[in-house]
Amino acid sequence: MNRTHRRVPLVIGVAACLVAGLAACAPGGSGPSTSASTGPVSKTVTKDKITLTVWDQNTDGGIDTAQQQLNKAFEAKYPNITIKRVSRSFADLKTTLKLALSGNNPPDVVQANQGYPDMGAFVKGGLLRTESDYAKLYGWNSYYPQSLLKLNMFSSDGKDWQTGNLYGVSQTGELVGVYYNKKVLSQIGVSAPKTLADLESDMAAAKAKGILPLSYGSLEKSPGIHLYGVVQAALAGSTAVDDLVTLKSGSWTDSANVKAAQTIADWSKKGYLTSGSSGVSQDTAVSSFGAGKSAFLIDGTWQEATVAKDLGDSNAGFVALTPEGASAPVTQGGEGLAWAITSKTKNANAAAAYIDFITNESAANTLIKTGNLPAVFPSGYTPPSGTLTGDIDTQYEKISAASSVVPYLDYTTSTFYDTMTAGMQNLVAGQMTPAQYTASLQTDYAAFKKEHG
């Protein structure tokens, strides 16, 4: 989730690929079609003057800069094509995209969040066009590891995730982890954490010195997914979380999940989190951390450019926590929102050419230069040491090699985003107990599993 972004897990075999190579629209109108029409596909783009309407959620500094550069370069290559860009925050995109896609004049290209709430619902409604044919045409099937591709796949009825047709490819890689201020940690005499116990010890030391331990703002609600997910992953481990989110096994009331909720409730009571966080925006929390007013920030790699600019690339660090007894860090992440082609577009070939242009190896170099993490590293790329960029890229490689990235938790059911994020606000505010919170998640989960069959 851009800041709020999310995204999807890298699973098996990504490391080799990483190292080697590694709008306006009119809402309302007609209802969704039941099937997306396709026909012969080609890399040849029309010579007619056309406008591609593109909805993205690349609103943060670094990725916004990259997107502007890539759009300008695409228009230079195809001077008959104008990109009409509509950029919205993750939260805004979630609340407006389905209506836009259902209208008479939907965008041509959109960034769609993976999982059942968004991509699954859009596929079910016939609102997205499959990209399986374009993946073969442009070589996306070999450029991306299968572990990333399958996260953008759904059965044609939108019922089964990670199988069937491809409905998008991703531009960026993502991890959610712990940013830290090296000067502040030195000031309070602690080292960068590696485990949840380390982090709690460091936060206690910061609190004792009168320094806010963790900047946290959840006005947009979605940051609650990241906060809970980081703690849950560190306690439960990758297999348990992955099995839970993919409906294979487990319960949200399992002891590790309740303990994660209890841990966060305790942090709130101890004053480790920004006071009144439900009324604090995520941008405000990031700015506070960047101004040196706290020791830590739990957020995604989409904040890399912003944090590096505010604290300095050599003064900021990033780490994903390693569960007790595990050999590698475990955290949420994988890849950014999928770039999808809408089913009603009249310019599918141009839309596919645009998506390829902003996600290929050349685009990956642009992403790195602008402080972003590409989904696949360019051939021969070596992360710079001693910098925030180096920390993030190295963690991405390490976690990918260990296949220890877990899915964003809101992918779990079609309603889980709302259930989880609203509950997290109540949990942090002390208006819901850890047991009540995890029970509410399990109720949502059980209902979806029963309906899903």
DSSP per residue over 269-288, as a string?
HHT-B-TTGGGS-HHHHHHH
User: Which of 322, 351, 370 corresponds to the end of one domain?
Assistant: 370
What pLDDT was estimated at residue 448?
Answer: 93
Gap between the Cα atoms of 255 and 355, Å rounded: 43
Q: How does 363-379 read in b/e, with b if 16+ C-beta sit within 10 Å?
A: bbebbbebbbbbbbbbe
Q: Do 70 and 13 contact (CB within 8 A), yes or no?
A: no
Cβ neighbours for 81, distance < 8 A, ≥ 6 positions apart? 45, 49, 50, 51, 52, 74, 75, 350, 354
428, part of any domain: yes
What pLDDT was estimated at residue 32?
Answer: 37
100 and 124 both lie in a single domain: yes
416, part of any domain: yes
184 and 206 both lie in a single domain: yes
Q: At 9, give phi and psi (nearest 5°).
A: -80, 145
269 and 327 both lie in a single domain: yes
- Give the chain's residues under pLDDT 70: 1-37, 453
190 and 306 both lie in a single domain: yes
444 and 347 both lie in a single domain: no
358 and 265 both lie in a single domain: no
What pLDDT was estimated at residue 5?
Answer: 44
Q: Which of 425, 334, 437 is nearest to 376 (CA)?
A: 334
What pLDDT was estimated at residue 37?
Answer: 55
Cβ neighbours for 349, distance < 8 A, ≥ 6 positions apart? 41, 42, 43, 44, 45, 46
Gap between the Cα atoms of 189 and 219, Å rounded: 32
How far apart, in Å, are the Cα atoms of 17 and each of 153, 377, 400, 401? 19, 8, 10, 10
Sign of CA dihedral 49, 54, 59, 61: negative
CATH of residue 340: 3.40.190.10
Gap between the Cα atoms of 101 and 53, Å rounded: 12
365, part of any domain: yes
68 and 133 both lie in a single domain: yes
Helix H or strand E encompassing 164: none
Rg (CA), the chain: 21
187, part of any domain: yes
Strand partners, 298: 178
126 and 65 both lie in a single domain: yes
Q: How many structural domains comprise the chain?
A: 2
293 and 358 both lie in a single domain: no
Q: How many CB atoms lie within 10 A of CB 82?
A: 14
Q: Which of 352, 314, 301, 311 is nearest to 168 (CA)?
A: 352
Cβ neighbours for 260, distance < 8 A, ≥ 6 positions apart? 228, 231, 232, 235, 236
**CA 53 to chain CA centroid, nearest Å:** 23
241 and 117 both lie in a single domain: no
137 and 231 both lie in a single domain: no
45, part of any domain: no
Q: Which domain holds residue 102?
A: 50-172+336-370
